[in-house]
Amino acid sequence: MRIGVLTAGGDAPGLNAAIRAIGVMALRDGHEVIGVANGWAGLAQEYAGVALQASQLSGVVGQGGTLLGTARFDLDHPAGGRERVLAAIGERLDALIAIGGDGTQRVSQWLAERGAPVIGVPKTLDNDLPGTDYCIGFDTAIAVVAESLDRLHTTAASHHRVMVVETMGRTTGWVAALGGLAGGADLILIPEFPMALSDVLEHVEQRRRAGLGYSIVVVAEGVDLSTLGGVETEKPTREGFGGGRLAARGVGQFVANRIEAGGDIEVRTTVLGHLQRGGSPTAHDRIWATRVGAGAYEAVVAGKFGTIPVVRDDHVTLVPLSDVAPGQRQVPREIYDLCAVFF
C-alpha cells in the first residue's frame, strides 16, 4: 500500500513525532510511505511526493517544524484545487493521512465525502478543533508562554512596570488562558469573554493600591478591539486556509498604549509570535503526537477512511471527520473563572 502523509497549515512542535509514528509502523509492515511536500500544494500543483526511508525518520521525534514542509495553500482561489487534489490521490496514492487544523480537516472531509481514502490527524497550537482534548503543538505553545512570563515577572517587578504579552490563538483564547494560568499572569484577555478597557485599567490600579507596582497582562491576538474602545482599521492579511494574520492587528500594543495613557506607569509589550511555534516539542506533545499518528496508521490499515484519531479522556478514539471539521472549540467558562481567581 502507498500511504501518503502531508502536513498542512502552520507548523507546530510535534509534527515530526506523528510523521515518525506513521512512517515507522508502515515500513515495519511492508508498506510504502510517501511524504508529500508542502501540504496540499504538493498535490494540487506539481506532484511532490517522495518515498520516505527509515533513516529519514530516525532522530526526528524531538525536532520542531516538519520534515515534509508545510504551507497555507488555498485550494479554492483559484477554484479547482480540491478537484486536483482528489485526482492526484486517485492516481498516486492508496491512502492519505492529512495532519492539520480546521482548514485541513474541512478539506479532508470534503475529499472523504467524494470517496477519497483520507484519514485526518489533529494539529493546531490554537487548540480550537472541536471533538478532541488534544491537538499537536498546543502543549509546547503554552509551555513557551509560561516560561516567557516567568522571565518577564522579574523584570516587571524590578522596574515597577506593566508587561503586556500578546499570544497566538487566532479567534480563541486557549493559548493565552492556559499559558497565562501556568505562568502566573495577573490579567488575561481572551476573545470568549470580552473585558472593557475600564476594567483593565481598574485591575492595574487595584494592584498598585495593594502595593504591587507591576502587572503581567496576557492578551490573545484575537481579542475584539471594539470591546476595548478600539476600531479595526483594516482586515487582517489573508493566509490561505489559515484565515487572517491576526498578529498584524497589534492588540497587545493597543492594550499597552491604553494602560500607559490611563495612568502614571511604564508599560512594555512583548509579542511572542512564532516563538510559540518553534523549537523542540515538549514530552507531552511528543507522546500524544506519536499516539494520534499511530492511530491514523491503524485506521488506514483497517480501511476506516473519513475518520480522525482524537484524544478523549486520555484515550485515542477514532471519530468521523465531521466531528472536528465544523465549528470551533472555545475556552469554557470554568477555565476562565479559574484564571480570574488569580487576577
Whether residues 147 and 268 share a domain: the answer is: yes
> Each residue of 15-64: pLDDT tens digit?
999 999 999 999 999 999 999 999 999 999 999 999 999 999 999 999 99
CA 287 to CA 18: how far, in whole Å?
9
The range of the structural domain enclosing residue 236 comes to 139-278
**pLDDT-derived band at 254, boundaries 50, 70, 90:** very high
Pair 273, 309 in one domain: no
CATH code, domain carrying 313: 3.40.50.450
Q: Is 137 left (phi over 0), alpha (psi -120 to 50) or beta?
A: left
Domain count for the chain, please give it: 2
Residue 237 has pLDDT above 80, yes or no: no
337 belongs to a structural domain: no
**Rounded mean pLDDT of 218-228?**
93
30 found inside a domain:
yes
Is 17 in the same domain as 101? yes
Distance CA 73, CA 342 (A): 41
The whole-angstrom separation of Cα 160 and Cα 267 is: 9
Give the residue numbers annotated as catalytic, written as ranges: 126
Same domain, 14 and 133: yes
Identify the band that residue 235 occupies on the pLDDT scale cut at 50, 70 and 90: low
- Does 91 lie in the same domain as 32? yes
pLDDT digits (tens, 9 = 90+) for 329-341: 999 999 999 998 8
Rounded Cα–Cα distance for residues 308 and 187 (Å):
36
Q: How confident is the model at residue 233 (pLDDT cuts 50, 70, 90)?
A: low
pLDDT of residue 244: 57
What number is the average pLDDT over the span 288-312? 98
Residue 215's CATH number: 3.40.50.460
DSSP symbols for 79-117:
TTHHHHHHHHHHHH-SEEEEEESHHHHHHHHHHHHTT--
In-domain check, residue 328: no
Which residue, of 223, 249, 278, is where some domain finishes?
278
Cell numbers given for 269:
509589550
Q: Please report the pLDDT score of residue 263 as a whole number.
A: 75
Q: What pLDDT shows up at residue 187? A: 96
For 156-196, what is each residue's pLDDT tens digit?
999 999 999 999 998 999 999 999 999 999 999 999 999 99
Q: Are residues 181 and 310 in the same domain?
A: no
pLDDT band at 326 (very low <50, low <70, confident <90, very high): confident
Same domain for 185 and 231, yes or no, is: yes
